[in-house]
Every structure is written in C-alpha cells, then in structure tokens.
Chains A and B, each alone.
Chain A
C-alpha cells in the first residue's frame, strides 16, 4: 500500500522531518560560509600565488 500524501505518518513525523531539514539547511549554510571565508583568507591567496609562480 502506497502512502497517501496526507497519511497520518506525515503529521506524526512533521517535527522530526522539519528538524532534519533545518539541520541540513544549516549545514549547507555553514559549508558555504566556511568556503567564502577560506577562499577570501590570506592562506588561500598565498597558495594561489605559489601555483602562479
């Protein structure tokens, strides 16, 4: 039996699914933010210069 869209399981697990979804979204934001910080940092610039030289 396939689950209907409005199956009670969806309601019952809504908070858990929402929590997982928000956690994953936050993780994406963190990865993006870290990437921006690392790319714009001096360490990354020095490495790029070394490659160019």
Chain B
C-alpha cells in the first residue's frame, strides 16, 4: 500500500464518516416535528393541568419514541430507500450509517422513551407509546407496507397516535376527544400521501411498494383522494361540536375543508394529460395545502384549549 492510497482511503473515511447530524437524521426530524406538535395539542387539550416540566418531558419522550420508530423504519427499509430518489440521501443508503447502528439506536431509544415516559407521567402512556412504536415498525413497516396498497391508511394510524398519547400522559385515562384527534390525522394521511404519490410516481414503482397508484391505477387514486377528503371534511366539521371544538375551530375547519374539498374535486376531474401539461400543479398545491390543513386544525384545537381558562374557548 502506497502513501497515496493510504491518503485516499483516509479521505474516503472522512467523507463517509457519520456526524452527529446523520444519527439525528435517522430519527426523521420532520416527522418528529408533526409528532411533537400533535402530542403537545393532545396534552394541552386535556382537561387537567400538568406541571410544565413534566409536560415538556412527556413531549420530549413521545418525540424520541417517534424518532426511534423512524430509525427502525430506516433500518428495515434500507433496501428500498436505496432505490427511491426521495430517500437515496438518507444516512443508510448514502453509506454514512450502517444498518446495524440504526437498529441499535432505534431499539435503545424505543426502550428509553417508553420507560422514561412511564416514569415521567404514567405507565398507561408509556405502554401506549410502546404499542405505537410496535405498530409503526412491525405492523406497518415490516408487514403491511409491502403487501397491501392500503399501506398508507394503516401507516396513518401509527402517525395518528401521538395526540392520544399526549392526552393519556396528562390524564392517565381515555375519552372520546383524543380519538377525534386520532381520526383527524388518520383520515388526513391517505389524501396527503396519495397526492404525493401522484407526482412522485416513478419512486414507488421502482421500489416495488404497492402504492394505490401502481396497484389500482392513477384514476382510482384520484377518486380515492376525493372520497377520503369528503369523509375527512365530515369528521373535521363534526369535531367542532365536541369537547375540543369551538367557534375558532369551526371557522378554521369550514374554510380549510372547503379549500381541501375543492382541491380534491379538481384532482378527481383531471386526466393524466392535464397533469403532465402543467407538471402536476394542482396535485402539488393540494399536497402543500394538506400540510397547512393539519397544522391549522390542530392549531385551532390548541387555541380553543388555551382560551378555556379565560372562559372563551369551546361552546360554553
């Protein structure tokens, strides 16, 4: 081995060396931000007061649990992440982090988050977090993601649990309101991801993931988006008259659901030629609106909860 080859191999090692940020990227920070926000709303909408530091810890450990399931998802899906353009740059496909490291990090953080949430709040919440990690990693990632075109619907359930965990962390018990928040995220996920699948089409085809666009065709996907959006609108407006709703929420829900339904209607009416002609402009704007949709609905629930101490939130 010459000096030149040693230098070259050292340079390669430096370039491939995982930084702290690469390990953090395994936790899917963008997904984690959704988990943090919805769990926070679940915790604050609960009709009990929580010590601020305990509340902070609860959200932190729910976020770490969500991140752990993201790392386990990346470990299992490393083979398809290497194929898809959208995921090629992730730490494992890019060669920065080894698969075993992702598995170890995911398992360690799963255990830590469940135990710490149980200790910080209550064991019901801890167990619920453990179940959510199990559901996302085993039921969704390992089992159903590659075997059914309804994978997105099932995956949506895993992403919808955080507000329920937040509520349980605060109250130690269950009621209908957190399940309305669950249903909101659950019903929102399919139109959100199917819109993405419409304009990122070759990705899922190449990876062999049975997305609805591949198994049932793009026309069926467009119709599915409209049906789910209509059901979501009924649910979102119904939530306005529950314990977590109120005039602020109703106003937000009316505006956003009208816009969302309009977008879904336009998607359902478009042909592939229409979409190709403007580079999926309507689908892309629907996807962007979907991000705002969920954020503002949960934001409105949060506003209602924060107004309640002043006698303003809710319908009373």
Binding site for B on A (CB under 8 A): 8, 12-13, 15-16, 18-20, 30, 33-34, 37, 41
Contact = CB atoms under 8 A, between A and B. Distances in A.
A41 to B, nearest CB: 7
B120 interface: yes
Contact of B51 (A13, A18, A37): A37
B53 A15 contact: no
Main secondary structure of the interface of B (DSSP, over half): helix
Interface in B135-187: none
B14 interface: yes
**B17, B18, B20, B119: residue with the most chain A Cβ atoms closer than 10 Å:** B20
A8 to B, nearest CB: 8
A19 B120 contact: no
A41 B17 contact: no
A34 B119 contact: yes
Contacts of B20: 15-16, 18-20
A9 to B, nearest CB: 10
B57 interface: yes
Contact of A15 (B10, B14, B19, B51): B19
Interface residues of B, number: 16
Contacts of B17: 12-13
B51 A41 contact: yes
A25 B16 CA distance: 27
A16 B18 contact: yes
B220 interface: no
A12 B20 CA distance: 11
A30 B19 contact: no
B54 interface: yes
A34 B120 contact: yes
29 contacts: A12-B14, A12-B17, A13-B17, A15-B19, A15-B20, A15-B21, A16-B18, A16-B19, A16-B20, A16-B23, A18-B20, A19-B19, A19-B20, A19-B21, A19-B23, A19-B24, A20-B20, A30-B57, A30-B60, A33-B53, A33-B57, A34-B53, A34-B54, A34-B57, A34-B119, A34-B120, A37-B51, A37-B54, A41-B51
